[in-house]
């Protein structure tokens, strides 16, 4: 979930004189907004590292700043624990992503579920993506292994692409599963229109760092870019419940 690199010129702007307010939240917001008035700040809180605050952006991405807002850190924060380096940034980002993804109503997805699912994955998918089609051919195997597959839409060529129109037809079909099966086997999907979540899901994918398909989000919010064979993917998915 990489954040576009902030230019050195803008970063130096943080070094300008800032009066420390009683509430670090306010002065940090002021400093960051001076860089980008549209920066989507979700929350600011003290980080586990003394004197450093973590800034959560929409989509779950994390930045770190000093209490006076004059120093900005972009990257991973690790904690050395029991001789191992724990990636605290990745944990926080995954937690935030899981919260957003798991809040998507089932009625807004195309779901292929086994009778007694042990876990689930959420797949940002396109219709004309070869590896998406390969993954879809293995959905029965994933179901057999206890993994529920939840599809959300991500037309990787944008909302004006033919795939976006086809995804809308899938979501507007009376039988979404059947329509998805057609799309994934390169058969024509009957055109259909309705109020659908394709644009909203595409925007969500961009926000959490999806830049290609398939993009797989585990139950714990960890993002796996690209295709994984069913046995390997099921193993990873089931371990994400631990």
95 is catalytic: no
CA 100 to chain centre: 8
126 is catalytic: yes
CB-based contact 73:63 (threshold 8 Å): yes
Catalytic residue (choose from 126, 150, 176, 186): 126
Reduced 3-state DSSP string for the chain: CCCCCCCHHHHHHCCCCCCCCCCHHHHHHHHHHHHCCCCCEEEEEECCCCCEEEEEECCCCEEEEECCCCCEECCCCEEEECCEEEEHHHHHHHHHHHHHHCCCCHHHCEEECCCCCCEEEEEEECCCCHHHHHHHHCHHHHHHCCEEEEEEECCCCCCCCHHHHHHHHHHCCCCHHHHHHHHHCCCCCCCCCCCCCHHHHHHHHHHHCCCCCCEEEECCCCEEECCCCHHHHHHHHHHCCC
242 is catalytic: no
For residues 162, 227, 4 and 152, what is the CA-based torsion angle, rounded to 10 degrees?
A: 50
Catalytic residue (choose from 29, 132, 150, 172): 132
> What does DSSP say about strands 119-125 and 147-153: parallel, antiparallel, or unpaired?
parallel
Catalytic residue (choose from 29, 129, 150, 172): 129
129 is catalytic: yes
Catalytic residue (choose from 61, 68, 156, 172): 156
> Which residues are identified as catalytic?
126, 129, 132, 156
């Amino acid at each position: 979930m990489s954040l576009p690199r902030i230019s050195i010129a803008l970063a130096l702007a943080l070094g300008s004189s800032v009066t420390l307010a009683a509430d670090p939240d306010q002065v940090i917001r002021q400093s960051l907004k001076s860089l980008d008035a549209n920066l989507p700040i979700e929350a600011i809180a003290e980080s586990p590292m003394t004197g450093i605050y973590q800034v959560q952006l929409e989509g779950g991405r994390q930045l770190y700043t000093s209490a006076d807002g004059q120093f900005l850190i972009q990257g991973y924060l690790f904690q050395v624990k029991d001789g191992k380096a724990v990636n605290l940034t990745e944990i926080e980002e995954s937690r935030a992503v899981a919260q957003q993804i798991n809040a998507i109503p089932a009625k807004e997805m195309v779901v292929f579920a086994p009778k007694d699912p042990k876990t689930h994955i959420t797949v940002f998918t396109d219709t004309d993506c070869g590896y998406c089609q390969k993954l879809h051919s293995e959905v029965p195997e994933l179901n057999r292994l206890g993994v529920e597959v939840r599809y959300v839409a991500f037309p990787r060529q944008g909302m004006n692409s033919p795939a976006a129109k086809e995804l809308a037809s899938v979501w507007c079909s009376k039988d979404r599963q059947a329509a998805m099966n057609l799309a994934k086997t390169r058969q024509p999907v009957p055109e259909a229109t309705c109020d659908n979540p394709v644009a909203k899901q595409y925007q969500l994918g961009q926000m959490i760092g999806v830049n290609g398909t398939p993009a797989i989000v585990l139950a714990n919010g960890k993002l796996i870019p690209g295709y994984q064979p069913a046995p390997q993917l099921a193993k990873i998915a089931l371990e994400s419940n631990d």
